[in-house]
Amino acid sequence: MGSKGFTPVTRSRAETRPDRHTSHHYSSRRKYKMKCVSGFLSIVIALFISSTGAEDVVVYGQVGETVTLPRSKWGSERVLVQWFFGMDTQPLITRNSHGRETIDPVWKDRLSLSKTDFSLIINNIRLEDFKSFKCELKDFMPQTTTSVTFRLFRVSVQPVSPLLAGKNLNLKCDIEEIFKGTQRRWLSPQKQDLNEDKRAQIRNDGSLTVMSVTGQDHGEWTCVVTYQGREAYANTPVTVIDLSPAHPQPIYTSVSSLSLLHLPCFFSIPPPLSWSDSQEKSIQGGRWTFTPSPVAGSLTGVFQTLANLSLGPPLAWVVNQKRGLDVSALQKTNLNLSLSKKGVTEGDRGEYTCAVEFQRGDTLKRSMRVEVLQVFSSPAPVAFVGQEVNLTCTLGHPLTSDLKVKWIPPRQSSLLALGSDPDSAHLTIPEARDINGGRWRCELWRNKTKLTSVEITLKIERVPMDVWLLVTICGAAVIFVLLLILTVILNRRHRQRVTMPRRGKRRICRCKDPQPKGFYRN
């Protein structure tokens, strides 16, 4: 059954099939429209993502220093680069696709773009610069734009007043805004991590305490702030007033009228203040003292003052002239307190101390020990041919294991011929000869370093003929006198023996004409 008014139309297969040329044209137009729509959508999506999905990049910096806002390269280098400050619509700096740059006159000499990427370099940061910066990159083939916002926060370290050596150093690293994951650490002037320094105490609030600072702690201390893999540095100068470093080893010299003993004592860092500018740090006095070595003589252990600093005005040293001392002139530029002495003797062995006194009882000291090398001959520097001579090179005490001596004989002499050890402090010449005379030098060595040396002139003389004649005559006279005395003594004993009467026996005489006892008249 059919419907009223409806007449079906029947077409042949040839009539309903489209023309081949018409079908190809329709397909091409459809593909072109889809490509345009797809490109447009990709641009919209990219702009949407760049404007809504990007997060602000946090960067830390310090006033007066340089900071880099890191912007990596894009896919193409031929892009328009624009940097904006805060809410400003005018760019600070622009670089077009041909590499030409334009900088806002207000920011001139303080801004530049990195040569390798699009990062912004800000020099001499000011306090008002700690806001936001935005970077826009525009590419015209195809037309795309991307932007990133940077937030610049301030990190600072409060400066400290000059410190005397031995005091504690206190520093604190302040951050304007701390985000989760922000870390802080400290570097010494030698760029060593303070986490490994036993003197350092680092707290969670970024404060640092260094116990008993020395002259080596003078310099620039650095707080390193790390966030999201980026590092920012905050520096502060620290002044440590200290004397020159003490000698790790004794000062070695030798006995000689020409030797100069120099004892250094000066400020490693001159105080940045005059003598009376600061009531807390002003110098109140100074002195040099000497404690003789136990082998130096009768003054063993007696504390002696060599020089005193007179505050004047003007400033001057009061020196003990009996010891031939000379103290360097005081100058505010270097404050050199060094001591020197001409003509060294064995009595100069001992410990010397340089001390500088400040107000509030603070004192800086440096002590140094002086060792004096000497050589002497026994029995005397003048010996006769055939006589045994002993040379001794000594510091006044036995040498330590790291020290040794070397003997340098005169040119015409040889140590091998003597059969003595050239490295021994005692050298023996069994039978002195003419070739042994001259300058003998004793050198003191530590490993491969020569510390000092001393010389002695040995004279070898022959006994003169008149001396032998005098000795012979004197010997003969002595023998003659002794024989004469002996003869006299023996002669006297013999005479006494002959003339002395014998005791203990009575002698009886027989008379030819004996007479009876009685009185007779002549």
Distance, in Å, from the CA atom of 444 to the CA atom of 255, rounded to the nearest integer, reads 13
Give whole-number Cα distances, 258 to 321, 352, 393, 443, 455, in Å: 18, 21, 19, 17, 12
Residue 312 tokens, joined = 């004047």
Q: List Cβ neighbours of 330 (8 Å cut-off, separation of 6 or more).
A: 309, 315, 316, 317, 336, 337
Alpha-carbon distance of 56 to 246, in angstroms, equals 54
Instruction: Tell whether the model's pLDDT for residue 19 goes beyond 50.
Output: no
Cα angle 266, 268, 273; round to 5:
90
Q: What burial class does residue 139 get, using C-beta atoms within 10 Å of its C-beta: 0-12 exposed, 13-18 middle, 19+ buried?
A: middle
Q: Which conformational region is residue 262 in: left (phi greater than 0), alpha (psi within -120 to 50 degrees), or beta?
A: beta
Query: Confidence class of residue 94 from pLDDT cuts 50, 70 and 90?
Result: very high
Contact present, 283 and 356 (Cβ < 8 Å): yes
Asked if pLDDT for residue 267 goes beyond 90, the answer is: no
Res 111: pLDDT: 92
Rounded CA separation 423/399 (Å): 12
CA atoms of 338 and 28, how far apart (whole Å): 98
User: 8: which DSSP letter?
Assistant: -
d(CA 182, CA 41): 39
Q: How many CB atoms lie within 10 A of CB 10?
A: 5
| Cα within 13 Å of Cα(52), Cβ side | 6
> Where is pLDDT greater, at 432 or 331?
432
CATH code 2.60.40.10 for 158-241 = yes
Say which DSSP state 107 is in: G
Confidence grade of residue 278 (pLDDT, cut at 50, 70, 90):
very low
Cis peptide before 313 (omega within 30 of 0): yes
In this prediction, residue 450 carries a pLDDT of 94
**Stated pTM of the model:** 0.65
Cα–chain-centroid distance for residue 169? 20
- What CATH number labels 379-461? 2.60.40.10
Cα atoms in the 13 Å half-sphere on the side-chain side of 506? 1
Residue 429's pLDDT band (boundaries 50, 70, 90)? confident
In the chain, where the domains are located: 57-154, 158-241, 251-371, 379-461
Radius of gyration of the chain (CA): 53
Instruction: Give the model's pLDDT for residue 266.
Output: 83
Asked if the model's pLDDT at residue 50 lies above 50, the reply is no
Q: Is 393 exposed, middle or buried (0-12, 13-18, 19+ CB in 10 A)?
A: buried
**How crowded is residue 377: how many other Cβ atoms within 10 Å of its Cβ?**
19
Classify domain 251-371 at the CATH class level.
mainly beta
506 three-class SS: coil
Which residue has 């830390």 as its token pair? Answer: 60
57-154: which CATH architecture? Sandwich (2.60)
pLDDT > 90: percent of the chain:
28
- Residue 82 corresponds to which tokens in the numbers above? 């624009």
Cα torsion angle, 261, 264, 265, 270, sign = positive
Q: Which amino acid is at 340?
A: S
Q: In which band, very low, low, confident or very high, does the pLDDT at 157 lie, cut at 50, 70 and 90?
A: very high
What pLDDT is stored for residue 16 in this prediction? Answer: 39
pLDDT in tens, 283-309: 788 888 888 887 655 455 677 888 887
In this predicted structure, the answer to whether residue 41 has a pLDDT above a threshold of 70 is no
* Contacts with 195 (C-beta within 8 Å, 6 or more apart), sequence order: 185, 186, 202
The residue written with tokens 């081949």 in the block is 20
Q: Which two tokens stand for residue 447?
A: 């490993």
Say which amino acid occupies 10: T
Asked whether this chain's domains 158-241 and 251-371 adopt the same fold, the reply is yes
Quick one: which H or E segment has residue 408?
Answer: strand 403-408
* Spatial CA neighbour of 282 closest among 292, 291, 272: 272
Q: How confident is the model at residue 83 (pLDDT cuts 50, 70, 90)?
A: very high
Nearest CA among 369, 352, 337, 343 for reference residue 252:
369
Structure tokens at 371: 């060792």
Structure tokens at 360: 């509030």
pLDDT at residue 388 above 80? Answer: yes
Average pLDDT, the chain: 78
Residue, of 15 and 381, whose pLDDT is higher: 381
- For the chain, percent of residues with pLDDT exceeding 70: 73
> Residue 512's pLDDT is what?
59
The pLDDT of residue 518 is 55
Q: What is the pLDDT of residue 460?
A: 82
Interval 189-220: pLDDT, tens = 999 988 888 899 989 888 999 999 988 899 99
Name residue 136's amino acid: E
> The tokens of 454 are what?
């001393």
